[in-house]
Amino acid sequence: MASLTVLFGVAGLLALAAAIVPKLVADRPFSVPLVMLIAGIGLGLLPLPAPYGNGWSDPAAHLQGVESFSQLGILVALAGAGLSVDRPFGLKRWGSTWRLLALTMPLSILAIAVLGYWWLALAPGVALLLAAALAPTDPVLAGDVGVPHPDVEPELARDNEIRFTLTTEAGLNDGLAMPFVLLGLALAGREPHLDVSWVLMDLLLPVATGVVIGLAAGRGLGWAIFHTSSDRLRLAEYADGLVLLALAFLPYALAEVVHGNGFVAVFVAAVTVRTLEREHEYHGVLHAFGHQLERLFVPLVLLGLGLAIGDGLLLGLRPLEVVIAVLAVLVVRPLVGWVSLLGSSAGRPATMAIAFFGVRGIGTLYYLAYALNRLPIPQQDVLWRVGALAVAVSVLVHGILAEPAIQRIERMGGHLPAR
């Protein structure tokens, strides 16, 4: 009971922090996620009672909670990110995004998996799991570099190559990391069943199914929101942001029921809703509600990570684990991203910014918990240490540099796509 009381007290403080901290750090060279991570580490150093008597630093004791909460945060963030995309869909218009997804993501996974196998002596499947968990950039923690809602700053939402590419990449690669995670689980299992039919049915088909479900769900929800003939049933007539949760949960559930990729379905559905009706003021209501939810999820996720780090999650950290976490965030992603974007429509300043600002966060924590919930792995402490440190490094470096760097590029005009 004492632990539950402490948790309620912390939750109340977090609600206050979610409202106050953004105003305190405005126009300063650090972000809300960084502040909350540091606060969490400070709390973790205190003798706080952990729920059910388990230590905060033992992820194995909280796997289901970490998976469920991070999954909820991703769904809300994906819906919000999709509704912020105001550039028409197309192979050329989204060219930088496709390059990041088709080249940067798989090549980064390969590089990190090789480092994990070579330096940390991880089994091939476990090394792939680590690399896949570190692959997705994060729509929750990328707020400082993501696209603002079109109703607020339409020119940034439509023409800013940096913010648009980072937002759409984050919206899609959370789902596209799943096939790599499943492949890692298969390789790490005692009886891997790798054949052509398994690759097609379990890895590739769910992604395609997620796209189809997302398109169908987005059109259905878009009709219900904007175009149904009854004023009483037309959801856009009400200033109710709860519809965002329907956009986050329904496509996910529909896709998962038919063995599709739910994360892909949610983002595609949100983009579809935005495409069906770009100018309606109700988008602003949905954006405001989603932004409030994200402001709550960010402190909770980062405080939880900080609690675990302060309580000893990184005890036993080896120098090579530090090197891999730093390389994954500050070397592999920027280098592979820069090479992948050579020759794209993005100018040189935009290319460098897009390549560098691949923010890690809630997606990494979700996929680690997802994988370890389904297959206990002897080296799971190594995975958690590297994953947690990579997220912390990303929050620190990107949180300090993101907004000042991108604002400078925008003032120079380097954010606009080349014509």
The rounded distance, in Å, linking the Cα atoms of 307 and 44 is 4
Question: What are phi and psi for residue 275, nearest 5 degrees?
Answer: -65, -35
Concatenating the DSSP letter of every residue in 27-87 gives TSSS-HHHHHHHHHHHHHTS-PPPGGG--TT-GGGGHHHHHHHHHHHHHHHHHHHHHH--S
The pTM (predicted TM-score) of the whole model is 0.89
The dihedral sign for the CA sequence 134, 359, 166, 261: positive
Mean pLDDT, the chain, integer: 84
What does the alpha-carbon distance between residue 319 and residue 297 come to, in Å, rounded to a whole number?
A: 31
- Give the Cα-Cα-Cα angle 52, 56, 61 (nearest 5 degrees): 60
Residue segments in the chain with a per-residue pLDDT below the cut of 50:
1, 52, 147, 149, 152, 157
The model's pLDDT over 186-224, given as tens digits with 9 standing for 90+, comes to 998 866 667 788 888 889 999 999 999 999 999 999 888
How many other CB atoms are there within 10 angstroms of residue 121's CB atom?
Answer: 12
What tokens appear for 370 in the block?
A: 């997802």
Q: Check residue 307 and give its pLDDT.
A: 85
Which DSSP category does 102 fall into? I
Q: Distance between the two ends of the chain, CA-based, in angstroms?
A: 62
- Contact in structure between 249 and 75 (CB atoms under 8 Å): yes
C-alpha–C-alpha distance, residues 340 and 98, integer Å = 10
How much is the pLDDT for 238? 74
CB 40 within 8 A of CB 310: yes
Matching residue, tokens 């080249």: 103
Exposure pattern of 184-216 as b/e (b: 16+ CB <10 Å)? bbbbbeeeeeeeeeeeeeebeebbebbbebbbb
Q: What is the pLDDT of residue 29?
A: 60
Length of the chain in terms of residues written: 419
Identify the burial level of 229 via C-beta atoms within 10 angstroms of its C-beta, where 0-12 means exposed, 13-18 middle and 19 or more buried.
Answer: exposed
Token pair recorded at residue 86: 């105001």
- String of DSSP letters for 120-163: S---HHHHHHHHHHT----TTTTTTTSPPPTTT-HHHHHH-HHH
CA distances to 59, 62, 64, 302, 371 from 69, rounded to whole Å, are 13, 11, 8, 12, 15
What is the distance between the alpha carbons of residues 129 and 136, in angstroms, rounded to a whole number? 12
Please state, in angstroms and rounded to a whole number, the distance separating the CA atoms of residues 304 and 299: 8
Tokens coding 27: 């126009």
- pLDDT tens digits, 133-158: 999 988 666 555 554 545 545 555 45
Instruction: Give the pLDDT confidence score for residue 63 in this predicted structure.
Output: 86
pLDDT score at 304: 84
Q: Would you tell me how many other CB atoms lie within 10 Å of the CB of residue 9?
A: 10
Name residue 362's amino acid: I
- The string of DSSP codes covering 213-254 is HHHHHHHHHHIIIII-S-TTT-GGGS--TTHHHHHHHHHHHH
pLDDT given for residue 235 in this prediction:
74
Q: Exposed, middle or buried: residue 317 (CB in 10 Å: 0-12, 13-18, 19+)?
A: middle
For the chain, give the longest Cα–Cα distance.
64
